[in-house]
Structure 1
């Protein structure tokens, strides 16, 4: 670690193999928290390279706890976090919206490190007991179309750095890795990123690994389709920038998407969304992300049809029903 730290302090990049090697050692718990903190801080001071990101990803997947849920056409909907916006749990709500619409979702998530409420926080608040038992995860997927994989149960590296990330309280390169290391490695993903450079890096990783991926970024800095500004969508068909109004949505105000100052506050917003009685901006934001996830799964589907499916799931109570069944299985 010391040699690699000196190398990075001299503004040199890691090779793919060096990146893989150091993440394997992190997974095995071989470094102390001071070393981990110094290592993570380097990537706040300079951009991560494609080779470094690929090497880190390979190591985490190499050490992952394998799980086979017997489903090929499932999707993960996840953002990097680290955008500093402290939104409510938009991606998680979109997952249950897509599940309510009848599609299979395998979500990989964790506690919030740089925000008040991550996916694991809001689910745990509702009494969810995280598990790595394949029978429970399969039952959840069969009954309510969604399984949740709590990252530390499946990725030793993410568990090893959890405490340091929480103490730092800022975005680290593990924010970039989280969406790329779902242990099931689903064929479809809707990934939100906090800047355009990362969008390009994700594109490379997804293309290299044959992932059917839609990557989204709101141009005012959100790691999801926030509808607070125009947003960029990148997939196998190319890149395109949309204004909310082009797709039938109004532009939202940032304060409409706030998750508040506590997990309880974020959970209340989450519940109102699934109940179908949240603020229009909150509802639209979840519908927009869910619609692009559905379109990722069904690329020939017209966007308006995908939007209608997402809206029907949310306003028609199907998303809430999926969540209620999920709680019964996972509590």
Structure 2
């Protein structure tokens, strides 16, 4: 049994970086059997280990990547840092009460107000429709490299980054445990996923549900030096800012902000106002109605709160009230829906050109 698995099971001391290095080396060499890999993922899923173990795990993965902007086959060469300045990523841990995809809607709304957003996400682990599933149905393509992400960001003010931002070792894990798949380990992947994406953003806003270990994630956020991370939680257990809940925004240097019902928007409403489409087939139509402001006042307020958090975290706005007002105007004016439609249109293949045979003139 590998020392990484032994350490997780015994929980007597943190699993160190060298041990994780050995684990990834053996995984890459194919010398770990399926049962051992499944056991390690199951251990991480049943109970996240201490902060030091997770920090060593994350650092052992980070050191195996080519840092963004230093050159490489994945398109990282020549990144223009000015394009990325002031960008913000929004990603949640999932696992809370079922709602429509609030964070994805907030990303579009924030971008429509001029905030630069580069969003990461995944397919559904604990919900019926993850952000990637929804974007696929909307016709919005994920970017496949840093350079393409930068181009999309420069053109549209928003980009949805594809799997290239995540460690290649995750793919290796999935292949090793096949055909089980990674969905049974969604609790671990959802909790740690927001810390795995490698993007040169300025800030990150991560909603933390009651199913995720907030204290451990706060320690990870505090020890992350590549970007500013805000963690959002509330008394309903959802991983979003909600107008009808008491929300806590955990910022850098232990800075916190409490957002109470009625403080930034009217505080009425419930999860019944935020429920997803009854049939996944209607998810696109429902999501478009949210961006258009026709899904109800509570949905509009919720998405506007999320968009405001992105604006303030990125440093684009300082005042929460004005940021909420701008977000609501982006919905009311149709700017948010128009942005989503333009991004979807940009991802469609160009229509085939009909070749007209040349006509010889006498």
Shorter-chain TM-score bucket reads 0.7 to 0.9
Alpha carbons of 1:4 and 1:147: their partners in 2 closer, same or farther (altered >3 Å)? same
CA distance in 1, matches of 2:27, 2:120: 18
Please name the residue that 1:212 is paired with: 228
Q: Which residue does the alignment assign to 1:159?
A: 171
The answer (yes or no) to whether the contact 1:20–1:57 under 8 Å persists in 2 is no
Q: Residue 81 of structure 1 corresponds to which residue in structure 2?
A: 94
Of residues 99-108 and 53-62 in structure 1, the stretch that sits farther from structure 2 once superposed is 53-62
Contact 1:40 1:172 in 2 (8 A): no
Segments of structure 1 that go 5 or more residues without pairing to the other structure are none
Q: Which residue of 2 aligns with 1:102?
A: 114
Report the more deviating stretch, 73-82 or 18-27: 18-27
Question: Which secondary structure does the structure 1 equivalent of 2:119 belong to?
Answer: strand
For the pair shown, which has the larger CA radius of gyration, 1 or 2? Answer: 2
Structure 2 matches for 1:1-331, cutoff 5 A?
A: 2-17=2-17, 20-21=20-21, 24-25=24-25, 28=28, 30=30, 31=32, 33-64=34-65, 66=68, 67=76, 68=79, 70=81, 71-83=84-96, 85-151=97-163, 154-161=166-173, 164=180, 166-168=182-184, 171-195=186-210, 198-210=213-225, 211-236=227-252, 238-260=255-277, 262-298=279-315, 301-331=318-348
Name stretches of at least 5 consecutive residues in structure 2 with no aligned partner.
69-75, 349-362
Within 1, Cα distance between the matches of 2:280 and 2:65? 28
More helix by share: 1
Distance 1:198 1:299 in 2: 30
User: What TM-score, normalized by structure 1, do the two folds share?
Assistant: 0.87
CA deviations on 1:215-252 (whole Å, 9 max, x unpaired) are 10122211111334211111137223332212223243
Q: How many residues align?
A: 329
Larger RCO of the pair (alpha carbons < 8 Å, separation 6+): 1
Q: For the structure 1 residues 139 and 246, does the alpha-carbon distance in structure 2 shift closer, same or farther, using more than 3 Å as the test?
A: same
Residue 178 (structure 1) shift: 1.4
